[in-house]
Every structure is written in C-alpha cells, then in structure tokens.
Amino acid sequence: MTYKITYKKSNIELEYCSEKHKNLSILDIAFDHDLFLKAGCRSGYCGTCQYILISGDVKYFYDPPPTAADKGSILICSCYPTSDIVIDA
C-alpha cells in the first residue's frame, strides 16, 4: 500500500510505500528527503518528535510506545502511516 504523508507546515508531501519503506518511520521518511524535523532519541523515549496528527491513522512499531504522546499527537520517530496522513510538521 502507498500512502501520502503531508508535512503541513513544511508544505511537503511525500510517499510512504509499505513494502519499500518497511521499518521506516514518518520521521525517517522526512530525513531521507532532507526534511530535518525536530527529533532526539529517535526511539520513542524523549518526546521531542511529537507533532499533531491532523488527519489519518498511524501504527506504532511498539504499541504502546515507551513515551505516550499527548492526545491528538504522535511521536513520528516511532510510527508509520496506515492511511494518507496530515501532520502539523
């Protein structure tokens, strides 16, 4: 499956292909395209990569992640899209 990730504040749309990008997070996809969003540990602990999920659905690699995101937000280092998504990044 292929989904569109819209990084709204950056005004960038990228494609996530579940086969090609297996094990890559929403943050990894951004970094791979030189979109350097705020991040720290990149493993779900520090909460630095928290962004509001405006629309769509994601799944965490580890559920629940080590640190819980605020309601309506996600830790983009630790999840991948399961639909087209828009995030406030």
Judged by the rule CB under 6 A, the positions of this chain that interact with ligand FES are: 39-42, 44-49, 67, 75, 77-78
Q: Nearer Cβ to ligand FES, position 49 or 58? A: 49
SS3 74: strand
* Those residues with Cβ within 8 angstroms of residue 72's Cβ, 6 or more apart along the chain or in another chain: 52, 53
Q: Which is nearer to ligand FES, 33 or 42 (CB)?
A: 42
Sequence-separated (6 or more) residues with CB below 8 Å from residue 12: 6, 30, 33, 35
Least distance to ligand FES, CB of residue 28, Å: 11
Of the pair 12, 46, the CB lying nearest ligand FES is at: 46
